[in-house]
Amino acid sequence: MKLGEINCVYPIFGVSSLKRIWGPLTVDGIFNIPANDSTHVWELNFEQNYIEIHSGREFVMPQDCFIFPLEEDSLYFKIKMPMHVKCASGDTLTINRSFLIDTGAAYDICLMYQTPELQFFNKQQDAVWLQFVDRYCRRYTVQTTLFDSFQMDSVRIYTFDFPNNVSDYVLGTNFLKRFNVYFDLPNRRIGLQPHKNYQRVVNP
């Protein structure tokens, strides 16, 4: 598959009706960052709203990035991210788990039904119930701190109470939008550069 001037190799290429699966869409198709790419740096610049694919030989990671190594032996992009969560009730929780990065999910943070953290959120009284396909999930708005220093307000954590085949812990696009994101695939790491002018616009 050719993206601009870059030739990308995808080991799997699926064909399906996105509108039948997801309903009305404003796009004709979707693609992801190929996990087997070992020569490029993929920049998702949410501050200026563009995607750029850099040569790994020439790219220099911005100095103000939080750096996370990509987990080995995974077909997906996973990073271990420690975060401290404070709920509206004042209750706090530290989550230090391996998160799947899902650039196709329009959420902040997702916790699946089998995760032990759900017991903590089950005690909170401020859940907003949302329809999810033919079922329901819950949403909590929290304050989150990364590395004991970087604070983020209005982070939304979604909990799913039914079995599924998704990774237990997921970071979605609405979390990533707080940063410019660099998938440094030659060095198997991800850089998150804080977005100085971030404002929440989309509220799924």
Q: Burial, 182: exposed, middle or buried (Cβ in 10 Å; 0-12, 13-18, 19+)? A: buried
Residue labelled with tokens 């616009």? 201
Q: What is the pTM of this model?
A: 0.88
Residue-range domain boundaries for the chain = 2-194
Could you give the CA distance from residue 113 to residue 184 in angstroms, rounded to a whole number?
A: 31
Architecture of domain 2-194: Beta Barrel (2.40)
Give, as one character, the DSSP assignment of residue 17.
Answer: -
The helix/strand/coil state of 104 is coil
Please, how many CA atoms are within 13 Å of residue 160, restricted to the half-sphere of its CB? 20
Low-confidence ranges of the chain (pLDDT < 70): 21-22, 200-204
Task: List 193's β-bridge partners, or say none.
Answer: 180
Q: Give residue 187's identity as a one-letter amino acid code.
A: N
Q: What is the pLDDT of residue 204?
A: 52
